[in-house]
Amino acid sequence: MRRRDLHDTAAGLPGPRLLPWTTPEGKPCYLSTDGRGYLSTLADNIESVQLGMGKELLEYARDTTAPGAKSLSATEYRWLACRLTEALADALRVADSRGQRLRDPEEEEADEGA
What would the pLDDT profile of 17-26 be if each residue is shown by its tens digit? 999 999 999 9
In a domain, 19, yes or no: yes
In a domain, 17, yes or no: yes
Residue 13 sits in which domain range? 3-103
In a domain, 109, yes or no: no
74-100 vs 38-65: helix crossing angle, rounded to 10: 140
In a domain, 113, yes or no: no
Instruction: Give dist(CA 40, CA 101) in Å, integer.
Output: 13
pLDDT at position 13 over 90: no
pLDDT tens-place string over residues 25-65: 999 999 998 878 999 999 999 999 999 999 999 999 999 99
| Domains in the chain, number | 1
pLDDT at position 10 over 80: no
In a domain, 91, yes or no: yes
In a domain, 108, yes or no: no
Q: What is the pTM of this model?
A: 0.74
